[in-house]
Amino acid sequence: MSDAADQIFATLKQSSQSGAPLYLQLRKSIEDAVNRGLIGPGDALPSERDIATKADISRVTVRKAVQDLVKGGILVQRHGSGTFVAPRMERVEQSLSRLTSFTEDMARRGMAVRSAWLDRGLYAPSPDEMMVLGLSSSELVARVARLRIADDTPLAIERASLSASVLPDPAGIGSSLYAALGVTGNRPVRAVQRISAANLGETDARLLEVPPGIAGLHIERISYLASGKVIEFTRSIYRGDAYDFVAELRLTGPSEEGRP
């Protein structure tokens, strides 16, 4: 067994006087070992049996600690091959003041972008879509739903809705929605974005390759043409461990004080 594993169990012995349940102590020892870099992303954890023998605790206790860490995204289990330290996410820093596309954001960071299609087509609009896009019930909405992947890591699920009059062929947008809108002179120039916390449901978590229930960001973007017409209504789920949204704040000058 590796030195790192030995160290995990040494820490466990030291903390065994603390009175906390054993599985919590083991969980903490493994977490500490990961945080201190004793075991790194992609490293295999010793088998349940090895840990139980070495730490002199039951396999049920080991399983409970390991499952907690899998749920928390610290460890990943691969069927048939064991338990590993989860790959560390390079967090992407995203400015909140520039209206850019996913493709542009990732290209600027030198990341290779691709998307997996989840849905694309023309549909009867939902009440939300009718309200935001100003559509009547006899008009159609174009929906483009994609899993957005950067450097092979799924980062976000984006579901965009646009009027079918703007995007009559949603299957023909290629790799960038904004590039396609640019071609027809419909690229948005302004957007309002609303960000809220969300716990990922089963389906979204599976697509984003994270444990269900983990923290994510729900982002809604409504974007506009220069004429003031709404062009895009997009609802996205971003991985919470992958994104930092950064907003620049300025002290209001005396002349602007008191303005809304």
- 247: Cα separation from own chain's centroid: 19
Query: Length of the chain in residues, anyone?
Result: 260
Closest contact distance (angstroms) between CB of 107 and ligand GLP is: 9
Residue 160 and residue 162: Cα distance in Å, rounded? 7
| Closer of 89 and 179 to ligand GLP (Cβ) | 179
Site string for ligand GLP, 199-238 (x = CB under 6 A): ----------------------x----------x-x-x--
Closest contact distance (angstroms) between CB of 203 and ligand GLP is: 19
Closest contact distance (angstroms) between CB of 84 and ligand GLP is: 30
- With beta carbons less than 8 A apart as the criterion, state whether 242 and 87 touch: no
Closest contact distance (angstroms) between CB of 94 and ligand GLP is: 9
Residues in binding contact with ligand GLP, number by CB under 6 A: 13
Query: How far is CA 260 from each of CA 50, 103, 256, rounded to the nearest angstrom?
Result: 63, 34, 9
- With beta carbons less than 8 A apart as the criterion, state whether 45 and 85 touch: yes
| Closer of 163 and 234 to ligand GLP (Cβ) | 234
Site string for ligand GLP, 138-177 (x = CB under 6 A): --------------------x-x---------------xx
Residue 10 and residue 48: Cα distance in Å, rounded? 17
* 208: nearest Cα among 232, 236, 233: 236
Of 102, 125, 142, 154, the one binding ligand GLP by CB under 6 A:
102
Residue 251 per-residue DSSP state: P
Residue 141 and residue 226: Cα distance in Å, rounded? 21
187 binds ligand GLP per the rule CB under 6 A? no
Which residues contact ligand GLP by CB under 6 A? 101-103, 158, 160, 176-179, 221, 232, 234, 236
